[in-house]
Amino acid sequence: MGGKNAAIVFSDADLNNCIPALIRGSFINQGQICLSTSRIYVERKLFSTFAERFVTEAKKIKMGDPLEDETWLGPVCSKPHYERIKQYLKIAKEEGATFLCGSENLNLPDNNRKVGTVWCNCWLVRNLHMPFGGEKRSGLGREGTEDSRDFYTYKKTICIKYKLP
């Protein structure tokens, strides 16, 4: 569902803050919201440490009935969506992927990246007076301040001929 959002973790990251934010960003609402973190790029020299700690924290997530207070991860939204997830995992495995893998070194986010929002050292923190939304085929457009007005309305010209005295 929704956007395809990446997180970038550099070797100087504070993992005590970074990992809880990425766990939340990846798994909140079962990862089924347009803001979910669907990819995590980790600088190579930090990868082993990051992966071990991330997996340790992910395994602590209680899955189950969403009506129980202890449950943090409930079911996906529908049987067809569940089947789609299984198919994506199958394709990834067939193409040689492992479910926990390294990444290439990345540069800092810059104006050459076509993304709608960049969060640094946080997730889902935004000022409602700033534009929000995805790029390319992600989402429906921008919202926030004038962008909300433009998103939820459209311009219309109305011409009325009045009888002059």
What DSSP state is assigned to residue 147? H
The predicted-structure confidence for 51-106, as pLDDT tens digits, reads as follows 999 988 988 888 777 788 888 777 777 778 778 877 877 887 788 766 663 333 33
**pLDDT tens per residue across span 117-143:** 766 666 666 666 677 676 677 666 677
pLDDT at 46: 94
Is residue 30 within 8 A of residue 66, CB to CB? The reply is no
Greater model confidence, 7 or 86: 7
Whether the pLDDT of residue 42 is over 80: the answer is: yes
Q: Could you tell me if 58 and 24 are in contact, meaning their C-beta atoms sit under 8 angstroms apart? A: no
Domains in the chain: boundaries: 5-152
| Domain covering 5-152, topology | Aldehyde Dehydrogenase; Chain A, domain 2 (3.40.309)
